[in-house]
Amino acid sequence: MKKVINLLLLLLLTTVGSYLVTQHPVYSQSEPNIEQQADFQKHFESLGVKGSIMIYDQNRDFFYQHNRDRNDTPFLPASTYKIPNSLIALETGVIKNDVDVLTWDGIERGLADAPIDEWNQDLNMRLAFKYSAVWFYQVLARKIGHQRMQNFVTKIAYGNQNIGGKEDIDQFWLEGELRITPRQQIDFLRRLQQNDLPFAQKNIDLVKDIAIAEETDNYVLRGKTGIATSVTPQIGWYVGYLEQNDHVYFFATNIDVISDKDVAARLEVTKLCLQDLGLL
């Protein structure tokens, strides 16, 4: 009798095991969240820049990267913070939508003592995001206020979550204590893309829309650049994600900006790496 029971148990376990394998096949190409090999270094060298890049393939749950240590190093977010700043401004109602206009105060602004004409005019959020107009987002930050800003930065677990004191409310992402790593940038963007942030869906959808940098029949590329000019060397960012069919690829590029040519190199090196993966 005991032998019969053992035999029945063995048959039962075998049947259940076969069912589980059939219903839940093992993904054989890679273990989850494993690094894949890619020669991105050649693109940094060809452009004469030092930096890092991380590209995360969400569907396959693996990533490619160049300069692993730098991808885990925290930096000022600079204008990449315009993504959460836009979400927080819309959520708190300090600006109604992407066409609500803020009036320019008449003070000419720019970078490296050179005025940027696109900044020096009345702007709405869509244009301010496109032109990366610092003054526009400083006004929004002051309207949001220190406590509300800190509450949201903590809720979304953005970087080290340190926005400094009340006096830093319109500078903390430019020359304050806020820091974020390239890896954390990707984590934040993943939550944005998956609608997993504490904001109304209409606000998430709007920010996703104004972040579109390129749209073709084959893909949609969303992204934001940034340059931290208050540190030496200056730090350049390009972060975002590319949607192609049902696949999503997130990227975070971070480089030293030593000369004017390095400003364009942020985008150039990113696109070269994405091309290596057959995504552009």
Take residue 247 and report the two structure tokens written for it.
């696949």
79 is catalytic: yes
**Active-site residue identified among 18, 28, 46, 79:** 79
Round to whole Å and give the CA distance between 144 and 125: 15
Active site residues: 79
